[in-house]
Amino acid sequence: AQTVTQSQPEMSVQEAETVTLSCTYDTSESNYYLFWYKQPPSRQMILVIRQEAYKQQNATENRFSVNFQKAAKSFSLKISDSQLGDTAMYFCATLNYGGATNKLIFGTGTLLAVQP
């Protein structure tokens, strides 16, 4: 079974600093996608960034970037210049490619608090 592990239940960072959230996963598939979603106190689920496993280049979206290490099955999220609005629960997720299904497998989340 595919699993996603986020080993940091909570993290804290000062405003304007950089923070890295960890994620490891286990899959027997060779083709898959990786995602980070953000869930702020409003409880919405917001897509932050997406990485295709066959691409070696790390994805970047403004202040958000990933460090994708395929051999180590690691997919960490770096947030630069942290802002108060980044305070949220962050979920790492995987999705297999090539099968008939399209389900996301989520980790248990990391609660990030950005301190002023």
Partner 1 sequence: NAGVMQNPRHLVRRRGQEARLRCSPMKGHSHVYWYRQLPEEGLKFMVYLQKENIIDESGMPKERFSAEFPKEGPSILRIQQVVRGDSAAYFCASSRGDRGTGGIGQPQHFGDGTRLSIL
What does the binding site for partner 1 look like in residue numbers (CB under 8 A)? 33, 35, 37, 42-47, 50, 52, 91, 95, 97-109
- Residue closer to partner 1 (CB basis): 16 or 47: 47
Nearer to partner 1, 15 or 52 (CB): 52
> In whole angstroms, how close is the CB of 19 to partner 1 at the nearest point?
20
The residue among 47 and 113 lying less far from partner 1, judged by its C-beta, is 47
Q: Quote the least distance from Cβ 61 to partner 1, whole Å.
A: 12
**Whole-angstrom distance, CA of residue 53 vs CA of residue 69:** 9
**Largest Cα–Cα separation, the chain:** 46
Q: List own/partner pairs for 7-11 with CB under 8 A and 24 or more apart.
A: 8/110, 9/108, 9/109, 9/110, 9/111, 10/110, 10/111, 10/112, 10/113, 11/110, 11/111, 11/112, 11/113
The residue among 18 and 31 lying less far from partner 1, judged by its C-beta, is: 31
Rounded least distance, CB 54 to partner 1, Å: 11
Nearest distance from residue 55's CB to partner 1, in Å? 12
Closest by Cα among 36, 37, 38, 75 to 55: 75
